[in-house]
A = this chain, B = another copy of it.
Amino acid sequence: MTPLFARMTVAGVGLIGGSLALAARAAGLVGEVVGYGRSEANLRLARERGLVDRVAREPAAAVAGADLIVLAAPVGASTALAEAFRPHAHPGAILTDVGSVKGGLVEALEGRWPDGRRVVGAHPIAGTESSGAGAAREDLFRGRRCIVTPTDATDRDALGRVRALWEGVGAVVEEMPAALHDEILARVSHLPHLAAYALVSASGEMQIGGRRVLDYAGSGYRDTTRIAASRPELWRDIALANRAALRGALAEFRSVLDRLEHLLATGDADGLSAELAAAAALRQRLGGER
């Protein structure tokens, strides 16, 4: 059977890129996978773990003959990567990404690709606080959503093939406009990251009565702040790239905190009950999936 793509280049063989490479190879969706990245140690690990068939450290060698190029580096590096690959890419090559922000990014990539219609924005909603080729897992996308954000310009064939790739590695693919994606992800991902970082900042180095506060953290604290261990430069880029939506989500969150502060200040037990019970009911419905 002919694979979906003869040669896939993955730029950034970390948790997401590496897992996609591994899963696509395992599912026979790709003829060959070339890993590209800046860290020699990470590329070596990717090679050793069999995530990719071979690695390249120069853009020309990385994308030569590729019919699919996946940008899986941090969001802030994507446009520069597209520019570096452009002169060496096959004219018909499809460019896709896995970034957590889609709005300005997909447009920027369209403008930087030989055929802008062959750019397909995608975002698999999967991940952990771990990173690097060592964290890649073949089953990372199984049963997870992958949002693709075609524009009016997007070529239907390119879109269909990128969809098929994600479906082939087990994801549930859904299309929506980039702006809608960014508004939603600001609430369910970008804001929670910001809140987790802020919780740690607020008391992470605090001492009270000669005791280091963080020494008393239990499993609740660990859960709530786990994603604050994520790579900070990654989340700085995401936060800035999705600044408008994130500021909206942050304002909503701060207004809930204002309400809670008021309930505490007035000792309003009934009001506090109602507020917490509504949140608990919603959260219980969501389930744990630990």
Contacts and interface: CB of A to CB of B under 8 A. Distances in A.
A6 interface: no
A276 interface: yes
A218 interface: yes
B256 A214 contact: no
B218 A127 contact: yes
Interface string A276-290: 111110111011111
A121 interface: no
A226 interface: yes
A273 B232 contact: yes
Contacts of A180: 208-209, 211
A265 B247 contact: yes
- For this chain, the copies found in one complex come to 2
Interface residues of A, number: 94
A264 B279 contact: no
Contacts of A177: 209
A217 interface: yes
A214 B235 contact: no
Given A195-B224, A224-B192, A257-B254, A214 B286 contact: yes
Nearest to A126: B218
B221 A224 contact: no
A290 B227 CA distance: 13
A184 to B, nearest CB: 5
A235 B189 contact: no
A78 to B, nearest CB: 16
- Which of A196, A209, A243 counts the most chain B CB atoms within 10 A? A196
